Structure 1
Amino acid sequence: MTKSVCIIGAGPSGLVAAKSLLHDVGPGTFKVTIFDSQSRIGGLWPASKTDNGGLVHPLMVANQSKHTVQFSDLAWEPSAPQLPRAWQVGQYLERYRQRYLQAADLRLGHKVVATEVKTGGSWEIQTSSEKGVETSVFDCLIVSTGFFGQPIWPEDIPRKNDVPIIHSSRYRTLQDLLPRDKPAGGKILVVGGQMSGIEIAGTVATHLSTAINTPDDKPIAQPEKYKIHHVAHRPAWVLPLFTSPTPKEAAPFFLPCDLPSYNLAGRPKPLTNKSGSISEEAAQQSNGIFKVVLGTDQSEFSPQTAIQGDLLDAPPYLAVSEHYLDFVRSGLIEVSKGKVSGVSGSAVTISPSGERIEDVAAVILATGFDPAASISFLPSAVQEAISFDPSNVNLPAALAFHGTHHPTFPSLGFVGFYRSPYWGVMEMQARFVAQMLLGSEAKASLEDTLDQDKSIEHILHLRSDPRTAQFPTGDYPFIMQEFGNALGIQISEPLPTPELPEGKAMDILTPARYVMPGLSREQQDEVDKNLASTNEAALGGLTKAKFVAHAVFRSLLGDWILERDLISKLPSHPSGRFVGVAKFLLREGTADGRSLDKESDPGMEYLYIEDGDFTASNGMKFRATRRYIWRFNDATDTLSVWFARTDDNSRADYLFHDVEFLVPDKQPSSAHKCWHAKAAHLCIDDMYNVKYEFNFGAVNLKDWRLAYTVNGPKKDYTIDGTYRRA
């Protein structure tokens, strides 16, 4: 007999729940109806570049790679970047819907306002839409509304003020944030120190840096008069999007940040839970690992971002941002420790220090989300059974077996209602819930799992544990193993690889490593594509120079002390020494010097400005400056340097050279000390042969060298410059 199932929410968790019901069990077993209050699918994930109505900026870069942000049996398009933007995730979900959910009854624009569990376990669902209020009855209910219900607005922050105050989920552009009828300048205050606080501070800093350094029309008046002031109660480890599995090497290899984290090669089997309550010893170990991964305790950026002393004994906080720390070092972001305790006009008070921040131009609240709205439609009896606590934003509900159900209500399931919604876990939860809803016979196969499960007790204990992890249920590999064991799904072996250097074994977890039996040929093809894509990325990072250009480009931001020697063999060109400062000023990519269609992503670029004194060998001394444009192309993984125009030296003119990073086995014998690169450029009759050396300290450049020789009919000289942090 076919069972009718109502799924509330058409985001990733709702879509994968529907797919599991329709495809992972016998055909015709379930009839699926999906309700969502929005006019599109995707939940948090926008459907296009211009979809600004949701809680996520459509141009936001995901902090997990496409190898984690995926379902097992749908591969990303080959052209998709390693770290997709939010709108690209939305388009992936639309392809997933088209592939697997044609049989689902998808009702968009239908907000579920109330539910009632009837005698026998059926569910009465009341929805509101343009058609009015409707009531339907279903055999089963799955809640897939997600963890992020409504933005949290702290009680001590006024909703109306002399300066704009918005939640971080509503930020899109500087021109939308800053009033046009007020004098330009002041501080953009960002409140909140966890993931969203650091991410939005870095995003706004990138927009502000672009506004200051763009050669085009300024999006706001006098952007150079603004700075960002970030208020956080404690610092977090800030990872860039690409980290290294070999951080102690001066020439480290790079991978998307999640792949080294989910490499199972270094973890004893079977896996044990490394999240939940973090002992002092475990905290010291984790903090030590992050320090090695970053190559610093972050004190080099600012004393306010340093993780030292007692913080090394505390459960670590983690965030992801490409440029936050370098913007702190450059002074565009200033950090204060504490909590905002009062807002009055353009002044803000910080407790417990009593610090008063004046001249505030706008406030952005990165204060998280209230999960209460995600289950407000559930009956009070259900909310009481799951011990719902809206004040506990990390652990609002005590649900059985990794957040999937509560034994009191066997016809009710949950998918994706927890913090750290890794897509593989959502897929596993959906499969588990599908088995639970099949009935007593299928449920009997899970009897041992259900009898041994202590998830509810564990969650209730963590609520009062002062050493609870930032992400209490965040050990993704462990949770995947637990679901695999319960469902009888074994993780597949990693794809065979050529012999790798010592310490670089690959056993990277992705959703495609756990697949349901009985896949169709088309599904297996998608699985194979996913596995091959991850393998290709990992091999490219571990055996070639892939992702090094990205790591170099990211780490150039800011000021460098430059010392350069020029040795000329011709009397017409004097030898000498240059000493000065080189600045890499970040901005969004421009079209200057290149052809870009409307759909092209121009990426990011730097306006490079060097300024200092040149002392010639004959004793003459004069001021010298030069400019270039440095660009990174994510699609080709290429770093390039462009000449600046003579009539407008803030704009790119034409290509100087592409930087070719040398594959390790092709590098000179001294290459183990740093990454080497080369380039060449023919300028009419003059040949420029360029050599680079980049010396890393884990993910950050410590220093680097640029040298080149110039030979031509009237030129014969060498230039050798070294750059070190100012």
Structure 2
Amino acid sequence: MKSVCIIGAGPGGLVTAKTFAETGQFRVTVFEKKARIGGIWALGRTTQDAFLSPDTPTNLSRFTVGFADLDWASVDLHRGQENGHSKDGPRPPLFPKAWMVNEYLETYARRYIPEGTIRCKTGVTNAERKGDQWNITVRDSNGHSETLTFDYLIMASGFFAQPRDLRHSVPHLPKSYPHMPVPTLHTSAFRSLDRLCPDSQPAQGRAILMLGGGNSSGETAANIALQISDTQWSPDRSKAQRYQDFKIVHITPRPLYPVPPFIEYQDHSKSYVPLDFRLYDFARRPESLPSYGGRQTMEVRNIVHQTLQNMMGGDLSDISPALVSHPGDGRGSVYVALSESYAEYVRSGTIDVVAGRVNEIRLGEDGSTASVVVQQGDEKLIINDIAAIVHATGYTPHPALDILDDATKAAIKYDPDSMRLPMILEQWQTINRDAPTLAFIGFYEGPYWPVMEMQARLAAQRWTSGKIPATKPYEQQEELLKLRASMRDRSLDVPQYWLGDHLGYMEDMAKELGLQRRSKGFKEREGMPSPARYRTPFTNTAEADAVMADLSQEWNASTHHTKYVARAAFCALQGTWTIKRHFTSSTPTFPSGTLEGTASFHPRHPTSNGNNGHPFDFEYLYTEAGTFTLATSGATMTAKRRYVYRYREATDTLSVWFVKPDRALLEVDYLFHDLAFESSEAMRREGALVAKADHPCGRDMYWTEYRLPMQGVALREWRLTHTVKGPNKDYVATTVYTRPGK
């Protein structure tokens, strides 16, 4: 029996350990330097010192964050709670939180990895090839070292080994860095405003600098913006003055598309689905299209930009000029930030997007603030009053690779200066033929769990059968070396994720493994790829069937029906609107007239009032102020009102609530109504999302209709109609909401 050393007990290491152990042909040992398994997901519900906050949701749905042999419903996310666990209970969130992902991995390890296989608190300090074997030196938490010999080595320690230092991105920093008086941290370390802005430092009217042009920059900026908004609009007003007029200045070297987690399934379909349902749908991909990767031609770039603009409902010019990618020779590849709130925070001014690169950071005279010099082509822009700095400078894989001996590094064409492509591999980034007993799992930018599972299967087949597939054109050594050079030169043809054809790679590897795609619950070319659709003789059939049933159910509910339409509508309401309301009354006791003013949907953390203790996932405080003009006399008066809008994923419900009369409290009082959306077919005919609601108020009855003509995920104008009838009321109030400037 051959021996295999696996470095890292994150998702890649765990699925590889399971895959190799179940063949019965390998003796597997996994070394994990941390005290718990999970990699970047190694955290619990209250952990505060991990790469992620425990409540950070996954970027893609649970079907892209999971393996073939474990349905998410089999994971007990309620251990220690009164109701316990039941597979028939509520499904886990479609985008699980980070602590839930760790529970998933812990469950997976308990079920499928033999006891004693994983050695936690044991880091690998050196890996050296000696003939056909590997000498692996490890050190435990007590400082004890030993050298062990293995036949094969698998690197599954993760591409995101360590956050990149700010010095790699900003040429000129104060001499006191990294101990500057202005708080400075990586996006992975951000948790709260209070950590960024200690009580000893003033915050009002100042700004946080967000530096970076990738996903985490937009995601973290939106997270900070929510915390700022919450200080102003939550029932707890203790920090309102401290963070008044506080904002984020986001410096990005390139335009970003802020893509929400739920998007329209097809243009004008009025069905909204998780992002990966649209991106990786077999029905969208010509069967003859080969897999692809690497640099992008201008033609491909333009196609991808147009696709994103269709999703977003425009080129984002109405939100910020810094987010617009203009056609022409200077147009780069598409970059996205996954966030459903970033765009409207930009429109509202909470986030100020500035195009350019930070060239220098200077400390202010009092030491409590900083100034930044932004390079914009040949021009320089100076931004002052920076109270804190958060940098989205990405991660470096090099600490994970430094353990390899020099001969192995030379064999895999290791480049210590390349952050994005440090070694030259093939076979879907798993091997280099000059190091045949070494494999990499999940060792590229943006690795998906299903791809890692297929990579593990491929590596096991390679070392049992000796079969090595032909090299793909985009993984030819010469092509990858050109790609590395383009990355170094910041060429426009390098995409955000150069190995980004998730669906294509899954199909390719399945073909090499001799696995047939299963389509139970789907048409032949429908749905998205999942390891549960490509089964081996070792696959847990019951769990894989459950994964497929869950995927099919969610797919049909969202693509053919109205599930998640409420979520998309809720997202689209955020921000400020110009309103014009016409009251048309049939009774003299309630006058006709017109109200003109402004309304805003302010994001805040969900509050607990109402709903019998069932939690909400998202919440807005709605505020409205305007001038009402009587139709008869022309007399005017000011008018204000407040509501709370809430969304709950467990019931997929958007609801509206009254606010308590005490205007200082901003607390929920009781339910006004739940929105019931029309069928997808009806809304396609209407060309808008249409929802209805009703509410009895004493002897009066309110019937309400919402009409939201969404363009992709964008909403620029919408209409709300209340029809009210009662003993002394008989009127219709029609309000048109329009984005300012439209």
Query: Which TM-score applies when normalising by structure 2?
Result: 0.91
Query: CA offsets, 1:189-241, max 9 Å, x none?
Result: 00001111111111111121112211125458611231000001111222111
Answer whether contact 1:113 1:128 (CA < 8 A) is retained. no
Question: Map of 1:321-400 to 2, 5 A cutoff?
Answer: 321-345=339-363, 346-352=370-376, 353-400=379-426
CA distance 1:452–1:46, shift in 2 (3 Å): closer
Alignment match, 2:676: 660
Residue type matched to 1:122 in 2?
W
Distance in 2 (alpha carbons) for counterparts of 1:308 and 1:218 = 44
Equivalent in 691, 694, 713 of residue 680 of structure 1: 694
Secondary structure of the residue that 1:701 maps to in structure 2?
coil
Alignment pair present for 1:96 and 2:79: no
Distance in 1 (alpha carbons) for counterparts of 2:644 and 2:473 = 61
Distance in 2 (alpha carbons) for counterparts of 1:480 and 1:56 = 28
Equivalent in 650, 655, 676 of residue 635 of structure 1: 650
Shift of 1:635: 1.3
Residue type matched to 1:460 in 2?
L
Alignment match, 1:474: 500
Shift of 1:319: 2.2
CA distance 1:657–1:454, shift in 2 (3 Å): closer
Answer whether contact 2:690 2:706 (CA < 8 A) is retained. yes
Alignment match, 1:425: 451
Secondary structure of the residue that 2:224 maps to in structure 1?
helix
CA distance 1:221–1:141, shift in 2 (3 Å): farther
Alignment match, 1:180: 199
Percent identity of equivalent pairs: 35
Secondary structure of the residue that 1:696 maps to in structure 2?
coil
Answer whether contact 2:55 2:99 (CA < 8 A) is retained. yes
Query: CA offsets, 1:559-617, max 9 Å, x none?
Result: 11111111222222111111111111011100123443xxx653221110110011112
Residue type matched to 2:38 in 1?
G
Distance in 2 (alpha carbons) for counterparts of 1:17 and 1:53 = 27
CA distance 1:429–1:114, shift in 2 (3 Å): same
Question: Map of 1:151-170 to 2, 5 A cutoff?
Answer: 151-155=163-167, 156=171, 157=173, 158-170=177-189
Equivalent in 620, 623, 630 of residue 609 of structure 1: 623
Residue type matched to 1:630 in 2?
Y
CA distance 1:6–1:224, shift in 2 (3 Å): same
Q: Which moved more, 1:13-22 or 1:558-567?
A: 558-567
Q: Which runs of 4+ in 1 moved over 6 A?
A: 450-453
Shift of 1:312: 7.4
Alignment match, 1:279: 297
Equivalent in 149, 153, 156 of residue 161 of structure 2: 149
Alignment pair present for 1:49 and 2:66: no
Answer whether contact 2:293 2:474 (CA < 8 A) is retained. no
Distance in 2 (alpha carbons) for counterparts of 1:493 and 1:311 = 43
Query: CA offsets, 1:94-129, max 9 Å, x none?
Result: 111111113452111111111222233233332232
Shift of 1:453: 9.6
Alignment match, 2:280: 262
Answer whether contact 2:462 2:468 (CA < 8 A) is retained. no
Alignment match, 2:79: none
Note the aligned Cα RMSD (angstroms).
2.1
Answer whether contact 1:568 1:574 (CA < 8 A) is retained. yes
Secondary structure of the residue that 1:479 maps to in structure 2?
helix
Secondary structure of the residue that 1:271 maps to in structure 2?
coil
Residue type matched to 2:662 in 1?
D
Alignment match, 1:582: 599
Q: How many residues align?
A: 701
Query: Which TM-score applies when normalising by structure 1?
Result: 0.93
Alignment match, 1:18: 17
Distance in 1 (alpha carbons) for counterparts of 2:290 and 2:739 = 42
Distance in 1 (alpha carbons) for counterparts of 2:473 and 2:717 = 54
Secondary structure of the residue that 1:58 maps to in structure 2?
coil
Query: CA offsets, 1:169-207, max 9 Å, x none?
Result: 111111111121112221100000111111111111112
Distance in 2 (alpha carbons) for counterparts of 1:387 and 1:317 = 28
Shift of 1:548: 0.7
Query: CA offsets, 1:529-562, max 9 Å, x none?
Result: 1112121112111221111110011111111111
Distance in 2 (alpha carbons) for counterparts of 1:218 and 1:176 = 16
Answer whether contact 1:551 1:699 (CA < 8 A) is retained. yes
Distance in 2 (alpha carbons) for counterparts of 1:8 and 1:234 = 35
Answer whether contact 2:527 2:555 (CA < 8 A) is retained. no
Equivalent in 428, 431, 438 of residue 412 of structure 1: 438
Shift of 1:641: 0.2
Equivalent in 117, 128, 133 of residue 116 of structure 1: 128
Alignment pair present for 1:459 and 2:480: yes
Alignment match, 2:137: 125
Q: Which moved more, 1:690-699 or 1:385-394?
A: 385-394
Distance in 2 (alpha carbons) for counterparts of 1:145 and 1:412 = 13
CA distance 1:687–1:276, shift in 2 (3 Å): same
Query: CA offsets, 1:116-160, max 9 Å, x none?
Result: 222332333322322522332222211100000111113234312
Residue type matched to 2:17 in 1?
A
Distance in 2 (alpha carbons) for counterparts of 1:370 and 1:450 = 27
CA distance 1:217–1:106, shift in 2 (3 Å): farther
Answer whether contact 2:271 2:680 (CA < 8 A) is retained. no
CA distance 1:48–1:454, shift in 2 (3 Å): closer
Secondary structure of the residue that 1:464 maps to in structure 2?
helix
Secondary structure of the residue that 1:618 maps to in structure 2?
coil
Distance in 2 (alpha carbons) for counterparts of 1:710 and 1:303 = 43
CA distance 1:312–1:660, shift in 2 (3 Å): farther
Question: Map of 1:489-504 to 2, 5 A cutoff?
Answer: 489-493=515-519, 495-496=521-522
Alignment match, 1:193: 213
Unaligned runs of 5+ residues in structure 2 are: 74-89, 364-369
Equivalent in 140, 145, 148 of residue 136 of structure 1: 148
Distance in 2 (alpha carbons) for counterparts of 1:15 and 1:311 = 45
Alignment pair present for 1:105 and 2:122: no
